[in-house]
Amino acid sequence: MADIALLSGAAHAAEDHATGTRTDSRRTYRSFLTDSTYWDSYRPRPGDIVISTPAKAGTTWAQRIASVLVFRSTRLPGPLAEVSPWLDCAFVPLEQTLGLLEGQEHRRFIKTHLPMDALPVHPEVSYLVVGRDLRDTALSTHNHALGTSRVPFPPGPAGDDVHTPGHPAIPEDVREFWRAYFTRSAFPWESDGRPFNSPTHHLESWWHHRDEPNVLLLHYQDMLDDLDGQMRRVSAFLDIPVDEDLWPELVEACTFSDMRADRRQIFGDGATGAVVSSFQFFHKGRSGQWHGVVTEEDLALYRAAMRRLPADLRTWLSRDEG
């Protein structure tokens, strides 16, 4: 645990604005969407759960799974977006999010899209990470980014260290979006993921610590293929016993059909709910949706991004020779 603990550091450490690198080894991410400095105010509790995923790789799905396990119920005390707040969300005031977290008496589970090197990492906190085939993530991100770009987006942080301060224009053409997604990022030190941060860097940052006892990696495809089995993995990881009498109901509540039917319980009526209510947040929820949409030339960009990853991570993530 010594290596993982080295990533924790003092608040407000100095940094190089060009690279986002801080003297405490954490990297600062500030954009229209995210502000990693919000984590400087985080005060962990033993048992906290941090759900860290690239955008559109199963974040809300993992939050929903955590919710039914923590509460042992399909019903929540409030919208999932409030019960499991997104701490580094740049368009929600930090004081509001911290107030939600400090007032919670249940076991807390917190959302982030940040990679491991942007977070303070604590041995008493559990980290749940989800990976997804980047080709499907790209198409789902296109749907999401196009949707959010069509509504007035709340203002994000300001300052010289803010990269991509406004929501970029998103092309209607998915192939044009794909080319940007696999060659650019919201941050100059990353090489893919635009208009958000890099999914390759995000997953690699956790991959090297996947054997730590407080880190669990899940794959989106495994969750599609065997939701029951993957939820049992999460249950064991979080040390939450399975109640077999309740279990079928809990698993059903984590299917895409149930989550789509219960959007209000998921998002509520706040800032997040207002943004996502204008488009289909839960996109197709399946794998292989890129077939027949992009060309071999487009896929070459995806493969180039994948080649930057360790071979074992490439194999785990893609599940094919693509």
pLDDT at residue 153, as a whole number:
77
Range scoring the smallest mean pLDDT among 132-146, 243-257, 263-277? 263-277
Paired tokens of 223: 């969750």
Q: Which residue has the higher pLDDT, 15 or 5?
A: 15
pLDDT in tens, 239-258: 999 999 999 999 999 998 88
* Average pLDDT over every residue of 213-223: 97
Share of the chain above pLDDT 70, in %: 83
Active site members: 113
pLDDT at residue 4, as a whole number:
44
Domain boundaries, the chain: 2-167+202-293
pLDDT in tens, 152-161: 877 888 899 9
Q: How many CB atoms lie within 10 A of CB 275?
A: 19
* Average pLDDT over every residue of 61-72: 97
- Fold (topology level) of 2-167+202-293: Rossmann fold (3.40.50)
